[in-house]
Chain A
Amino acid sequence: MSNGDLFGPGPAKRPDRRSLVRGAGGWALESATSGSIPVSAVNALAREALESGLPPLWVHGEITGWKRYPSGHCYFTLRDKRAQLRGVMFRLEAQRLPADPREGMEVRVMGTVTLYEQKGDFQFVARELEATQDGGLWKLAFERLRAKLDAEGLLRPERKRPLPRYPTSVGIVTSPVGAALHDILRVIRLRAPWTRVLVAPARVQGDGAGLDIARAIHRLARHGEAQVVIVGRGGGAVEDLWAFNDEVVARAIAACPVPVISAVGHEVDITIADLVADWRAPTPSAAAERAVPDGTAVERELNALIDRARSAIRRSATTRRERRDRAQAALLTAATRLIDRRRDRLMRAAHRLNALSPLAALGRGFAVPLDADLRVLRTMAAFQREQRFTLRVLDGSVPCVARPDEKAS
């Protein structure tokens, strides 16, 4: 085809109108007779000329009037200071956009210039669209979803649930063929080989990956045995991680009845899944390390606990013995004090008794004569001749005999 000729100036071609129109389509004969061509023919020719004359282009400009119709097709205008270009992005391409561009956003669009024949509109059919400011459309979509989830309170730190310390079953949502699964299994086998691992396979990139991931999380939740869930993949380009920025994934994580560890394997780009998850691990291996305890460490902890229990018992037994000893000592002291008090009283009584005793007089130099029956010999008449008696003095008794010749009158 040589549609270019229609617009080309070449004078040699001009008289040969008939051959030109014939070459362009089925209307050729009809138009040849009337000497003119119908509108639709012009538009068809113009369209062909445009499409073949201009290769697919990247066009940059500011976007305005972006509108997404229920059909899924999107219409917009690209402009710079001096001109504007109307554009369309059809459903198939438009649904791959992470977000609709904002009004006035600087964009680069790849596509072809064409003519919409029915209306005679000159337009640009876009196949790809990238925002060249604010980090692009991915970033824009991310920020929009983040703001939405934040407004719902799903990103609040107090929503984060503590991870179980000693889980015996771990759920994993990732690609069944990726390196992430391999890494996670290796770490779990190394640290906690007693663990039961429940793998819910999911595609982690490409169309529908987000939904696949969300379904896998639901599957683990319904099964109900996993005590903690790791959701992740190995690293990748930002576009490859997009499934983890999908709203359905965010909501599945938030709705998961057990804590979720995200492991998207991208140190730089944080994903929505990371924000909603209860714990964000930088890599799948790190997620596994966080998920399960190290067996030898657990054994050490157990031993330490039992040691503490043992010494608590020992301590309380010691305390008990000490208390008993103290009680005994106190009892002894009390008893002794009681006895001492009694002894004091006894001493005082004895003194008083002593003071009243006739023996006290002996101390003052008196002596008492007593007969063999210990009766006191008080008068002269009590003495017989040669009578034996004892004289009781302060410190003892002196045996005596009464002599008549020296008997005083």
Chain B
Amino acid sequence: MSGSSGEPEGLEARIARIEAIVARLEGDRLELDDALALFEEGVRHAREAERVLRETEMRIDRLVTEADGSITVERIPEPPE
């Protein structure tokens, strides 16, 4: 969970950050400037998260272990439907 001020990556971290922001806005007595800055950050994360959600091309990879023990990733282009 990312509650820090660092830039969260990934859907999970972004939504956690938005939740933390909402909790602060609802709970703490903030200066209006700080509150507005937090709000803008939250909206930005929400937009990024929505951008992820709009991705509709499911990517399927197959993990195969080679003879030397290394792992290769093979894209499965046409998912079996």
Interfacial residues, chain A to chain B (CB-CB below 8 A) = 164-168, 176, 181-182, 185-186, 188-189, 193-201, 215-216, 219-220, 222-223, 227, 295, 298-299, 301-303, 305-306, 308-310, 312-313, 316-317, 320
Decide: B22 and A309 in contact? CB cutoff 8 A: yes
A308 close to B26 (CB less than 8 A) = yes
Instruction: Name B38's closest neighbour in chain A (CB-CB).
Output: A309
Classify chain B: how many residues form its interface, as a range.
35 or more
Give the docked Cα–Cα distance between A216 and B30 (Å): 50
Q: Are B35 and A313 in contact (CB under 8 A)?
A: yes
8 contacts between A and B (CB under 8 A): A167-B12, A176-B62, A182-B81, A185-B60, A198-B62, A302-B18, A309-B42, A316-B32
Q: Quick check: B80 and A309 within 8 Å, CB to CB?
A: no
- Show the binding face of B for A, using Cβ within 8 Å: 10-12, 15, 18-19, 21-22, 25-26, 29-30, 32, 35-36, 38-39, 42-43, 46, 49-50, 52-65, 71, 73, 76, 79-81
Contact B10 A302 (CB under 8 A): no
Contact B71 A223 (CB under 8 A): yes
Residue among A167, A193, A198 making CB contact with B63, cutoff 8 Å = A198
Q: Which residues of B contact A188 (CB under 8 A)?
A: 58
Minimal beta-carbon separation of A318 from chain B (angstroms): 11
Bound-state CA distance A317–B36 (Å) is 10
For the complex, what is the distance from the CA of A320 to the CA of B15, rounded to whole Å? 29
| Chain B residues whose C-beta falls within 8 Å of the C-beta of A312 in the assembled complex | 22, 25-26, 35
Which of chain B's residues has its CB closest to A293's CB?
Answer: B11
Nearest chain B CB to A257 CB, angstrom units: 15
Q: Is the CB of B22 within 8 A of A185?
A: no
Known: A182-B81, A199-B63, A298-B53. 15 other contacts (CB 8 A): A166-B11, A168-B11, A168-B12, A176-B62, A189-B79, A194-B56, A197-B61, A199-B61, A223-B73, A298-B11, A302-B46, A308-B22, A309-B18, A309-B22, A309-B43
